[in-house]
Chains A and B, each alone.
Chain A
């Protein structure tokens, strides 16, 4: 399997799984404006995923299209970050997850837009603009929640504590990334950490929250080792194509 296929698939999977998670809020958001916001974020992410899957399928050259890649692979074949598959929890958990991911995604897409791979660069240039909105949206909410009532503060802190173990994986890389970084195609995620720390720590401070310390670290998404939550997500997301193969409308 080519490194470019693997790399593109990882990016696509993270975007799709986070997009699907956000779509689970439809009909349940705390207020109408937020319902629209979360739906819009989900659409952006699923749009990014579609472009990436289409490209991954073309790179692979075995005739798999975006639907085959999204709906006809099982847990062990998904390559997304563990962070994005974590359950929505309460609104604070969803917002914290969105912040931790977007603070990474925004500089990531910005740098990938300079990739020597023209297709990845084009997808990244669009995703970068979108992730700027996502980061601002999540940052504003985390500040409101952290600097809000005693209850919202408590929940926001608990959300950060819950998700912090999944932060380290954002900045990990393996032979797939390293090979592509050397060719000027991929972004070295570790290089983005200082910027991520600055933006996240500034928001956490303004939110009167504390960055968790000594939480340990979970990883394994890029080799298909997932938390138990992904299977449940896929069961819902893939049901239609599993039950009615090839269905379209």
Chain B
């Protein structure tokens, strides 16, 4: 019985999508850290990508909605900061979905010197001839790039 409850909770929680990158679920992103039972209460842990990520509150609300829709009334949602989120937690599936959506998935490491840039392939044409326009994009987790071959600007999910 309680094994069934955890399965239902996991399925419901795993289906919640990131409000800013709706092709990714919070499971794809690695934002969903744990789904477990404490007696008959479902306990869920999520972690922010960035300290100020404004999506966290929306994700909490969406989680609550998804759990209730799955017939689960007793749950607790906690935000945990440790260990700190890293792009390494982005699933393989998540990377594929990102690229399909037109966002270049994270490449390389984020520790760079001044004016250095990650080698990022254009998600439209695959060219490596790209340049960074800004390290800060429309959300905290993205940078803005431009492809020199197809001339299209695109978002890059930056390494973190």
Number of A-B contacts (CB under 8 A): 84
Shortest CB-to-CB span from A4 to chain B, Å, is 17
Q: Which A residues lie within 8 Å of B84 (CB)?
A: 122, 125-126, 129
Assess whether A33 is in contact with B133, with CB atoms less than 8 Å apart: yes
Shortest CB-to-CB span from B95 to chain A, Å, is 20
Q: Which B residues lie within 8 Å of A136 (CB)?
A: 112, 114, 135
Q: Which A residues lie within 8 Å of B110 (CB)?
A: 129, 132-133
Within 8 A of A (CB), among B119-160: 133-138, 140, 144, 160
Give the complex CA separation of A122 and B51 in angstroms: 11
Give the complex CA separation of A126 and B50 in angstroms: 7
Out of A33, A51, A121, A140, which one reaches B51, CB within 8 Å?
A51
Shortest CB-to-CB span from B33 to chain A, Å, is 13
Give the complex CA separation of A220 and B120 in angstroms: 46
**Which of B53, B81, B144 has the largest number of chain A CB atoms within 10 A?**
B81
Give the complex CA separation of A44 and B52 in angstroms: 5
Number of A residues whose C-beta is below 8 Å from B? 36
Assess whether B50 is in contact with A33, with CB atoms less than 8 Å apart: no
Shortest CB-to-CB span from B87 to chain A, Å, is 10
Assess whether A132 is in contact with B114, with CB atoms less than 8 Å apart: no
Assess whether B140 is in contact with A137, with CB atoms less than 8 Å apart: no
Q: Which B residues lie within 8 Å of A118 (CB)?
A: 82
Q: Which B residues lie within 8 Å of A50 (CB)?
A: 51-52
Out of B48, B112, B137, B144, which one reaches A126, CB within 8 Å?
B48
Give the complex CA separation of A136 and B160 in angstroms: 14
Interface flag for B71 (CB, 8 Å): no
Assess whether A36 is in contact with B50, with CB atoms less than 8 Å apart: no
Q: Which B residues lie within 8 Å of A170 (CB)?
A: none
Show 7 A/B contacts (Cβ-Cβ < 8 Å), sorted by A: A37-B135, A44-B50, A44-B52, A50-B51, A122-B83, A122-B84, A130-B51
Query: Which 6 residue pairs of A and B lie closest in terms of their CB atoms, listed nearest first?
Result: A47-B52, A47-B51, A122-B82, A43-B52, A33-B134, A37-B136
Question: Which residues on A are within 8 Å of B, measured CB to CB?
Answer: 19, 33-34, 36-37, 39-48, 50-51, 118-119, 121-123, 125-127, 129-130, 132-133, 136-137, 139-140, 143, 203, 206
